[in-house]
Each structure stands twice: as C-alpha cells, then as structure tokens.
C-alpha cells in the first residue's frame, strides 16, 4: 500500500471517529411497554381502539408503604394521608387514592352522607375499622394487604409516561416519601419500570463495553505479544465500536432493551475479522512474501472470505427483522449494520496499519506456534482415522437435540425479564405476594341490541363473570360499573359485608340507578363508554407464566360462552397483559420464518461461492447442528423461549457460518492449487484451523461477558451462545472433513 493511500485512509478514519464520538454521546435510551406489543396484530388493534373509549390499563403507579407491626397506628396513618394528598401535586400525577381518603356512603333518614373507612383521629375505632376493611373485597389485595402490614397509595399518571417524564416523576416521589418514617416502601407501575429499565440499559452497555475491552486486550496480548500487533488489533476493534454507535446516534436510533448486546457483538465480530486478517498477513510474511504482496494475498483470500462471512452474519441478524416485536426487529437491523461496519473498518483501517510492519514487529513467535501446528495436525489425523465414530457421535447428538427441542416451553414470566438484585424486582415480587399482581387483564363488554351498558340485564351478566373470576385463584380483585350498584345496595342495607352485591330485582335497581346518576362522572366514566354501549371489567392476574395464562384465559372464554347470555352481552378479552403474552406465539412463528429465510439466502450465497451442490450440502449441515443444540439446551434447562432469548438462533447461525466459509474457502484454494483431497484438508487444518479456533475462543469468552449482566435474558443468551459456538467449531473440524470424504471420494 502506498504511503499516500495509507495516510488518506488513516485520516478519513480519524475524522469519522471524532464525528462518531460526537453522535455517540447523543444516543437516547428508550424503554416503554408498548414497544413489546406485536406489530400488526388484530388483538393489538382492538385494544388500541378499546382504550380510546376508556383509558389505558397501565397509567398507574402504586406506592406500597409498610408498617411491620400493623398499619393501624395513628402517626403512620397520618403520614400516609399526608403523602396521599401531597403526591397529587407531583409532576405527571393526575390523581391519588388511598384508604385514608375513602369513605363509605351512609343512608340516613334525612340524606345520604358518608363515614370514613378509617377514622384517623379516633384510634379507639381502629379495630372496628380494620375488621370492616379486611372483610371488604374492594380493598383487600388492592389498597391493603391481607395481613394489614402495608397499604397502597395509588397514583394515576398521565398516559404513556416517557423516560424523560419518569426521570422527573420518580425522584420527586423519592424525595417526598423520604420525609416520612415508613418501615419500607415499594413501587409498581410503568413510570418506575421505564426509569429503571433505561438505567439498566445504560449500566449494561457500560459494563459490557469495559469487560469486553479488558477481555480483548488480554486475548490480543496472548496472541501477538508485540506492542504494534496489540495496538493495531485493539484500535481497529475500538474504532469499529465507536463508528457503530456514532452511526446509530446520527440516525437517531434509540437504545432499547437489547442494546446491552451491541458492545459485546461489535467487539467479538471485530476481533474475529482482525484475527483472520492479521493471521494471514503474518503467515504470508513468514513464508517470504514482501509487505505489498503479503497484503495483496491477504485481501484477496481472507478479505473476500471475510466479506462473505460478514454478509452471512448480517443475513443471520437481519432474519430477526421478521419479528413483530420492535426491540427484536431493531436489534436485527442494527446488528447487521454493526457487522458491516466492523468489516469495513478492518478491511481498510487495519490493513492500512498492517502495511507499516513486518511479521516480527506484529507477533512474538515461540512455542505457541508449534502447539497450534501439532494440535491441528492431530485433529486432521483424528478425523481421517475415526470417520465412523464421528458419524455415530453426531447422529446420537442430533437425536438428543431433537428430544431436548420437544421440551421447549414458552411459559415465560415478567419476573424472568427483570434485572437481578435490584429494588425494582424486589418491589415487583412484593406486589405479587401481597397484592393482585401487575399483569392487567381487561374484559371488553358489548351490550347487544337495544341494551345499554348500564341496563340491569347487562350488569347481571357482568356480575356472573366477576363472581366466576373470583373463584380463579390467579385473580385477586375485579372492578367494573357493577361496583357502583353493589356499593349503593350495601349502603341501603347498613353497610353489611353480605350486602355488597347486585340488587336482586329490577325495581330495586331502578331505584339505585337514580342514586348512581348522582355519582360524579369521573368515578364511572372509566367503566362505561360515552355512547353507553360498551363497558369494561378490569382485573389483574398474578405472574404465573404466559402458557399458563393462556390456558386460564381459554378456560374463562369457554365458561363465558357456556354461562353468559350472548343475546345481552358479548365479551372479548383484551389488555396489556394479553397483548404481551401473544409475543410467545409470534416468537415461534417469526423465528421459524426468519431462520428459514436466512438459511435460504445463505444457501444461495454458498451456491454462488462454491458453484457445486455437494459443497452447498457440506457448508450447510454443520451450521444446522448448533441450532439444534441451542434449542435442545433451552428444553433441557427449562429456559423459556421468549422474545429476548429468541435471538440466540439468529446469532448462532450468523456467526457459525463464518468459520465454515473460512475453512471451505481455504480448502477450495488448495484444491485449485493442484492438491489432492487429503493434502488440501491437511493444509486447511494447519493454516485455517488455528484462526477459527482462536476466533471461536474469543467468541466464547466474549459472549461469556454477558454473565456479568443483571438482565436474566442476557445471561441466558451469553451462556447458550458461548456453548453452541464451541459446538459449531467442533462441527466444522469434525463434520466438514467427514462430509468432504463422503461426497468427494478420492479418484
């Protein structure tokens, strides 16, 4: 490479790196629950139309405050009441509610009045208040725990709270709540999830970048043992990472839930490209070529092979773009872009720097070279002498994999996606244990014919459904317009616990309806539509797993179909929880579609590259085995196949193909140079075997970096990809020679 061209390339990359640093600092982190809704889904479209008449089911923030020896203590209740009142003035809070603000309606001979649920200033009435409240199904598991050691302040927030709004709201709540001497407090709601998940993303990117950098520095020192070699490799990888983040920043692409994987991905892909290019360049120099010729051969042979591996890896990631889940789709496109950025950086920037040095300046030679030569030589002879054993071993492995795949489950839980050892997760589990959980479930009620949503017959049918829901242990509370009439009935009957039920006759109902019409509309509009033709039954389900929830929902639909008069009302389940749970179905279908498309596209590239149907078979079979193994590990270890974990297959396929291309490309070159089958295989093992072993080890430890993550899906992804990539290496070294010998018998 001429000095002028080299300086020009280095100057261009210097400028691009500086510009990328600017844009990288403008990256935005994004987390909102709607991004996990499957795009184009008919149930999603229905839900979005449904909430136009009502309000979204996640515009709340629950604050549970504890008093270990019981909440019925005057100072504690005064503090809760004060917090309830003051929290209304917090930014992005529209309303607040707690037991300290609730009153029971009371019918007197003169008028309807009310009495407080808790007589805060009359401690002598606490026992009576406690007994009445704990017998009231409206409050237990929603505003007070069954053991009466905690109570909830429910804040209604503005719809679709953004990250920036959450970063204002949550610190404001923290500052307010710290003024009180509560034993402990817990948050549950979109605003808290949004802020904490965004903070987790920032933490994950920082930690994974630092650990990956340390790992690569150690690996490069171990490989090269010379400062120029270490400097070139680390600088190339670092610039590729900076350029990638800079491009994302310039394009305005936000960092979503999968962003923590980007640094690891860029580092290991860049490292793989660097090792292949530098290893070949050094080998050419050691064989006697001058720098110019060595670089020319390196770019011609390894540069082309690396281009093909980059394309196939990008195709593997782009397969994720078929997903209907936005974070998965965006990860696929961004990862594919990152692979191309890494390749361009290595093929131009790295080669420009390499052209300045000879072999001894780049690498320290010693016993390590003999070790790799002997290892690859033994590996070659092992495949030559043990073909039948290898075939039997692989056959047994495939059968075991199929067994494991049959055990895969999609019964994922919200808990499985929450960051480990964080207050947010502890708070989530607290609400799961003591209250009604987080998964919102909505039943849309459509009044039929001439009926209105507030007619007696309609409410009777709704009451049937609510009574049935309360018999299902995974539900702990319900709310609908029926609660208004049940409360009025209870009021007319002395607020007895047993009187909280629908009036038994239509005459009674019509009498109560006149009272209900006087209830402020703000209290009832969340339960019925403006045209009075639709209503809602809202509840929450415990986090029992997507598959279990699907079974419960199906049983509920069956019960409704058998027991509810469809001439009066029609029911459709909806809500945020149902939409999120549909991801499990789309994960499976989009995974198969995406991988199928990727396999076809890579097969076409292989066919163009090798122009031989036998080489196409040889190139594809070894890369399907790691996919089977990844699926089997999910089944054997009981890991739920959910949206985040599903990317394992695309990553494994995209990266595993790389080593196959390098191996077969070298084999083809040796054959074109006049070598027979065994000579070509032997040369391929000795010259390419070391590079693919090193890159696989780098990939193995690179993905193990994710074990430091606090995000459970990332930990699973790191562990499984690391293991399956080792299996891909074993498949290349054992299965490819076996297939070549089977399909190309020696003349």
* Three-state SS letters, 659-673: HHHHHHHHHHHHHHC
Phi-psi region of 160 (alpha: psi -120 to 50; beta: other; left: phi over 0): left
CATH topology of domain 368-406+583-747: Multidrug efflux transporter AcrB transmembrane fold (1.20.1640)
499-512: average pLDDT: 88
pLDDT of 292-303, one tens digit each? 888 888 888 788
Degrees to nearest 5, angle at CA 218 with 714 and 214: 45
Number of H helices, E strands in the chain: 27, 10
Helices 261-286 and 677-704: angle between axes, nearest 10 degrees: 150
Report the sign of the C-alpha dihedral through residues 718, 719, 721, 727, in that order: positive
The whole-number pLDDT of residue 710 equals: 83
Nearest to 90 by CA among 172, 154, 193: 172
Strand partners, 537: 443
pLDDT digits (tens, 9 = 90+) for 722-737: 888 888 888 888 898 9
> How confident is the model over 116-143, as a mean pLDDT?
89
Query: Which whole-number Å values give the CA distances from 153 to 61, 85, 150, 364, 681, in the listed order?
Result: 8, 10, 10, 67, 71
Q: Which residues are registered as beta bridge partners of 573?
A: 443
Radius of gyration of the chain (CA): 32
> Looking at the predicted structure, is the pLDDT value of residue 494 above 80?
no
Pair 630, 570: CB distance under 8 Å:
no
More confident residue, 584 or 683: 683
Nearest C-alpha neighbor of 447 from the set 459, 432, 434:
459
Cβ partners under 8 Å of residue 232, min gap 6: 274, 278, 350, 353, 354, 357, 362
Considering the entire predicted model, what is its pTM? 0.76
Q: Average pLDDT, stretch 22-44?
A: 71
The mean pLDDT of 148-174, rounded to a whole number, is 88
**pLDDT at residue 90, rounded to an integer:** 92
- b/e for 58-78, b at 16 or more Cβ within 10 A? bbbbbbbbbbeeebbeeebbe
Whether residue 187 has pLDDT greater than 80: yes
Q: Are 1-30+225-365 and 439-542+544-581 equal in CATH topology?
A: no
Residues contacting residue 620 through CB under 8 Å, at least 6 positions apart: 599, 602, 603, 606
Strands in 150-157's sheet, in edge-to-edge order, are 93-97, 150-157, 60-66, 184-189
CB 460 within 8 A of CB 502: yes
Q: Which residue did the predictor score with more confidence, 248 or 312? A: 248
With b for 16 or more beta-carbon neighbours within 10 A and e for fewer, the 393-402 pattern comes to: ebeebeeebe
Give the Cα separation of 572 and 445 in Å (integer).
7
What's the pLDDT at 368? 57
- Which CATH code for domain 1-30+225-365? 1.20.1640.10
Quick: pLDDT tens for 687-703: 888 878 887 887 788 78
Residue 590, pLDDT > 70, answer no
Listed in sequence order, the residues at least 6 apart from 11 whose beta carbon sits closer than 8 Å to its beta carbon are: none
DSSP letters for 401-470: HHHHHTT------GGGGSPTT-HHHHHHHHHHHHS--SEEEEEEEEE-TT--TTSHHHHHHHHHHHHHHT
Give percent of the chain with pLDDT exceeding 90: 21
Helices marked H in 564-612 — which ranges? 576-581, 583-610
**SS3 of residue 188 by DSSP:** strand
Task: Report the alpha-carbon distance of residue 636 to residue 21 in Å, rounded.
Answer: 44
Of the chain, the percentage scoring pLDDT greater than 70 comes to 91
**Alpha-carbon torsion angle 441, 434, 416, 439, nearest 10:** 10
Q: Cα torsion for 432, 434, 440, 445, to the nearest 10°?
A: 140
Statement: 439-542+544-581 belongs to CATH 3.30.70: yes
Buried b / exposed e across 17-52, counting CB within 10 Å, b at 16+? bebbeebbeebebbbbbebbbbeebebbebbeebbe
Backbone phi and psi for residue 27, each to the nearest 5 degrees, phi listed first: -65, 145
Q: Please report, for the chain, the start and end positions of each structural domain, with discontinuous segments joined by +.
A: 1-30+225-365, 368-406+583-747, 439-542+544-581
Give 407's pLDDT tier (boundaries 50, 70, 90): confident
Query: Which pLDDT value is given to residue 643?
Result: 66
Task: Give me 623's structure tokens.
Answer: 């890369």
Task: Determine which of 372-386, 551-565, 698-712 has the lowest per-residue pLDDT on average.
Answer: 698-712
The average pLDDT across 58-81 equals 91
How many Å apart are CA 613 and CA 611, to the nearest integer?
Answer: 7
Instruction: Check residue 228 and give its pLDDT.
Output: 83
Question: Could you read off the pLDDT of 531-543 as tens digits, one per residue?
Answer: 889 999 988 888 8
> pLDDT at residue 559 above 60?
yes
Range with lowest mean pLDDT among 70-74, 297-301, 318-322, 491-495: 318-322
Across the beta sheet with 475-479, what order do the strands follow? 475-479, 534-541, 439-447, 569-574
């Amino acid at each position: 490479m001429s000095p002028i061209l080299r300086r020009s390339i280095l100057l261009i990359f210097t400028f691009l790196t500086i510009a990328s640093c600017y844009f990288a600092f403008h990256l935005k982190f994004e987390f909102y629950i709607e991004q996990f809704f499957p795009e184009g889904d008919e149930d999603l479209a229905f839900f979005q139309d449904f909430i136009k008449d009502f309000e979204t089911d996640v515009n709340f923030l629950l604050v549970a405050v504890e008093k270990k020896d019981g909440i019925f203590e005057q100072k504690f209740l005064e503090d809760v009441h004060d917090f309830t009142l003051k929290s209304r003035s917090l930014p992005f809070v529209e309303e607040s509610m707690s037991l300290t603000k609730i009153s029971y309606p009371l019918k007197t001979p003169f008028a309807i009045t009310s009495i407080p649920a808790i007589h805060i200033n009359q401690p002598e009435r606490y026992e009576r208040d406690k007994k009445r409240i704990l017998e009231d199904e409206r409050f237990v598991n929603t505003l007070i725990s069954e053991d009466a050691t905690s109570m909830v302040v429910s804040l209604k927030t503005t719809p679709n709270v953004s990250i920036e709004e959450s970063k204002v709201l949550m610190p404001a709540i923290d500052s307010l709540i710290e003024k009180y001497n509560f034993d402990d407090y817990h948050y549950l709601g979109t605003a808290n999830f949004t802020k904490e998940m965004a903070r987790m993303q920032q933490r994950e990117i920082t930690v994974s970048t630092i650990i990956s950098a340390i790992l690569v520095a150690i690996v490069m020192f171990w490989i090269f043992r010379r400062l120029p070699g270490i400097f070139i490799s680390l600088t190339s990888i670092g610039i590729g990472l900076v350029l990638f983040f800079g491009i994302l920043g310039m394009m305005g692409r936000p960092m979503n839930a999968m962003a923590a994987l980007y640094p690891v991905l860029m580092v290991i892909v860049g490292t793989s490209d660097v090792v292949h290019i530098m290893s070949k360049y050094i080998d050419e120099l050691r064989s006697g070529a001058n720098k110019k010729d060595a670089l020319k051969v390196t770019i011609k042979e390894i540069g082309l092979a690396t281009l093909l591996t980059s394309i196939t890896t990008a195709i593997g990631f782009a397969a994720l773009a078929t997903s209907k889940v936005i974070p998965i789709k965006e990860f696929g496109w961004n990862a594919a872009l990152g692979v191309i950025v890494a390749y361009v950086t290595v093929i131009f920037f790295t080669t420009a720097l390499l052209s300045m040095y000879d072999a001894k300046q780049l690498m320290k030679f010693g016993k390590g070279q003999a070790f790799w030569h002997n290892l690859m030589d033994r590996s070659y002879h092992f495949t030559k002498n043990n073909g039948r054993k290898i075939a039997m071993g692989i056959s047994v492995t495939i059968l075991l994999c199929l067994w494991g795949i049959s055990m895969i489950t999609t019964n994922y839980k919200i808990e499985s996606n929450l960051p480990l050892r964080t207050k947010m997760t502890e708070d989530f589990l607290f609400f799961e244990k003591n209250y009604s959980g987080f998964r919102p479930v909505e039943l849309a009620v459509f009044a039929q014919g001439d009926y209105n949503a507030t007619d007696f017959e309609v409410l009777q049918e709704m009451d049937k459904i609510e009574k049935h829901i309360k018999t299902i242990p995974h539900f702990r509370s319900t709310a609908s317009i029926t609660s208004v009439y049940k409360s009025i009935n209870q009021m007319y009957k002395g607020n007895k616990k047993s009187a909280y039920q629908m009036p038994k006759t239509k005459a009674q109902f019509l009498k109560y309806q006149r009272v209900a019409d006087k209830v402020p509309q703000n209290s009832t509009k969340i339960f019925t539509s403006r045209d009075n033709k639709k209503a809602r039954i809202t509840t929450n389900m415990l986090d029992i797993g997507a598959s279990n929830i699907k079974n419960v929902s199906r049983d509920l639909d069956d019960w409704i179909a058998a027991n509810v008069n469809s001439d009066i009302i029609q029911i459709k389940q909806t809500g945020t929880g149902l939409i999120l749970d549909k991801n499990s179905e789309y994960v499976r279908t989009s995974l198969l579609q995406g991988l199928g498309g990727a396999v076809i596209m890579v097969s076409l590239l292989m066919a163009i590259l090798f122009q031989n149907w036998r080489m196409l078979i040889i190139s594809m079979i070894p890369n399907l085995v790691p996919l089977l193994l990844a699926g089997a590990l999910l089944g054997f270890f009981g890991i739920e196949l959910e949206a985040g974990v599903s990317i394992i297959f695309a990553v494994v396929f995209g990266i595993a193909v790389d080593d196959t291309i390098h191996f077969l490309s070298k084999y083809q070159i040796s054959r074109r140079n006049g070598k027979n089958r065994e000579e070509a295989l032997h040369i391929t093992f000795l010259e390419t075997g070391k590079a693919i072993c090193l890159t696989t080890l780098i990939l193995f430890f690179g993905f193990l970096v994710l074990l430091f993550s606090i995000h459970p899906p990332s930990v699973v992804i790191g562990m499984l990809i690391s293991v399956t990539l080792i299996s891909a290496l074993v498949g290349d070294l054992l299965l490819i020679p076996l297939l070549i010998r089977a399909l190309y018998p020696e003349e």
